[in-house]
Protein backbone atom coordinates (compact mmCIF):
# COMPACT_ATOMS: atom_id res chain seq x y z
CA UNK A 1 0.00 0.00 0.00
CA UNK A 2 2.74 2.48 1.00
CA UNK A 3 4.78 1.63 -2.10
CA UNK A 4 1.84 2.34 -4.37
CA UNK A 5 1.34 5.77 -2.80
CA UNK A 6 5.05 6.58 -3.03
CA UNK A 7 5.07 5.58 -6.68
CA UNK A 8 2.04 7.81 -7.26
CA UNK A 9 3.79 10.72 -5.53
CA UNK A 10 6.89 10.27 -7.68
CA UNK A 11 4.67 10.17 -10.77
CA UNK A 12 3.00 13.43 -9.69
CA UNK A 13 6.35 15.09 -9.08
CA UNK A 14 7.55 13.96 -12.49
CA UNK A 15 4.40 15.38 -14.05
CA UNK A 16 5.06 18.71 -12.34
CA UNK A 17 8.63 18.84 -13.56
CA UNK A 18 7.46 18.15 -17.10
CA UNK A 19 4.97 21.01 -16.85
CA UNK A 20 7.66 23.36 -15.57
CA UNK A 21 9.95 22.43 -18.42
CA UNK A 22 7.21 22.89 -21.04
CA UNK A 23 5.17 25.83 -19.78
CA UNK A 24 7.07 27.54 -17.00
CA UNK A 25 3.71 28.13 -15.29
CA UNK A 26 4.60 28.92 -11.70
CA UNK A 27 1.00 29.11 -10.46
CA UNK A 28 0.23 25.62 -11.74
CA UNK A 29 3.42 24.24 -10.23
CA UNK A 30 2.80 25.79 -6.79
CA UNK A 31 -0.78 24.45 -6.79
CA UNK A 32 0.40 20.94 -7.64
CA UNK A 33 3.14 21.09 -5.01
CA UNK A 34 0.57 22.14 -2.39
CA UNK A 35 -1.63 19.16 -3.37
CA UNK A 36 1.32 16.78 -3.14
CA UNK A 37 2.28 18.13 0.31
CA UNK A 38 -1.30 17.66 1.50
CA UNK A 39 -1.38 14.09 0.20
CA UNK A 40 1.95 13.32 1.86
CA UNK A 41 0.72 14.73 5.19
CA UNK A 42 -2.41 12.56 4.98
CA UNK A 43 -0.31 9.46 4.32
CA UNK A 44 1.96 10.30 7.26
CA UNK A 45 -1.00 10.88 9.61
CA UNK A 46 -2.64 7.62 8.55
CA UNK A 47 0.61 5.72 9.02
CA UNK A 48 1.22 7.31 12.43
CA UNK A 49 -2.28 6.34 13.54
CA UNK A 50 -1.83 2.76 12.33
CA UNK A 51 1.51 2.56 14.18
CA UNK A 52 0.00 3.90 17.42
CA UNK A 53 -2.90 1.44 17.15
CA UNK A 54 -0.46 -1.40 16.46
CA UNK A 55 1.59 -0.51 19.53
CA UNK A 56 -1.59 -0.80 21.62
CA UNK A 57 -2.28 -4.27 20.23
CA UNK A 58 1.32 -5.28 20.91
CA UNK A 59 1.16 -3.86 24.45
CA UNK A 60 -1.93 -5.89 25.35
CA UNK A 61 -0.59 -9.02 23.63
CA UNK A 62 2.75 -8.91 25.44
CA UNK A 63 1.13 -8.06 28.79
CA UNK A 64 -0.80 -11.33 28.43
CA UNK A 65 2.34 -13.21 27.32
CA UNK A 66 0.72 -14.20 24.04
CA UNK A 67 2.64 -15.04 20.89
CA UNK A 68 1.38 -13.93 17.49
CA UNK A 69 0.05 -17.44 16.91
CA UNK A 70 -1.74 -17.62 20.25
CA UNK A 71 -3.50 -14.30 19.69
CA UNK A 72 -4.25 -15.27 16.11
CA UNK A 73 -5.98 -18.45 17.30
CA UNK A 74 -8.06 -16.50 19.78
CA UNK A 75 -9.04 -13.94 17.14
CA UNK A 76 -9.35 -16.12 14.06
CA UNK A 77 -6.87 -13.81 12.31
CA UNK A 78 -3.79 -15.09 10.49
CA UNK A 79 -0.69 -14.74 12.70
CA UNK A 80 1.19 -12.89 9.96
CA UNK A 81 -1.55 -10.26 9.97
CA UNK A 82 -1.16 -9.79 13.73
CA UNK A 83 2.47 -8.87 13.09
CA UNK A 84 1.51 -6.50 10.26
CA UNK A 85 -1.14 -4.83 12.43
CA UNK A 86 1.37 -4.26 15.23
CA UNK A 87 3.85 -2.75 12.78
CA UNK A 88 1.18 -0.47 11.30
CA UNK A 89 1.64 -2.04 7.89
CA UNK A 90 -2.01 -2.75 7.14
CA UNK A 91 -5.27 -0.88 7.49
CA UNK A 92 -7.87 -3.04 9.21
CA UNK A 93 -11.66 -3.18 9.28
CA UNK A 94 -13.95 -2.58 12.24
CA UNK A 95 -14.70 -6.29 12.43
CA UNK A 96 -10.96 -6.97 12.90
CA UNK A 97 -10.88 -4.52 15.80
CA UNK A 98 -13.73 -6.46 17.40
CA UNK A 99 -11.91 -9.77 16.82
CA UNK A 100 -8.70 -8.37 18.36
CA UNK A 101 -10.48 -6.99 21.41
CA UNK A 102 -12.30 -10.30 21.93
CA UNK A 103 -9.03 -12.24 21.58
CA UNK A 104 -7.34 -9.93 24.08
CA UNK A 105 -10.37 -9.95 26.42
CA UNK A 106 -10.56 -6.16 26.45
CA UNK A 107 -13.04 -3.50 25.42
CA UNK A 108 -12.46 -2.33 21.83
CA UNK A 109 -12.20 1.22 23.19
CA UNK A 110 -8.99 0.22 25.01
CA UNK A 111 -7.23 -0.31 21.70
CA UNK A 112 -7.69 3.39 20.94
CA UNK A 113 -6.49 4.65 24.32
CA UNK A 114 -3.17 6.07 23.16
CA UNK A 115 -1.66 9.53 22.90
CA UNK A 116 -2.98 11.38 19.90
CA UNK A 117 0.17 13.07 18.63
CA UNK A 118 -0.97 12.70 15.08
CA angle 39, 118, 46 (to 5 degrees): 45
The pTM of the full predicted model, rounded to 2 decimals, is 0.65
Alpha-helical runs (H) found in 24-93: 26-63, 68-75, 79-86
pLDDT on residue 54: 94
Q: What is the pLDDT of residues 32-56, one digit of tens each?
A: 667 777 776 666 677 888 999 999 9
Q: Are 40 and 63 in contact (CB under 8 A)?
A: no
> Going by C-beta distance under 8 Å and a sequence separation of 6 or more, which residues neighbour residue 48?
117, 118
Q: Compare 44 and 72 and report the one with higher pLDDT.
A: 72
Helices 26-63, 2-23: axis angle to 10 degrees equals: 170
For the cut 70, the answer to whether the pLDDT of residue 116 exceeds it is no
Amino acid sequence: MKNRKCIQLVANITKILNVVLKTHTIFYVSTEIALIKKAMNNIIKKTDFQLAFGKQVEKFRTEQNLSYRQLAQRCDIDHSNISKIEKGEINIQLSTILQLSNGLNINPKSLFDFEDNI
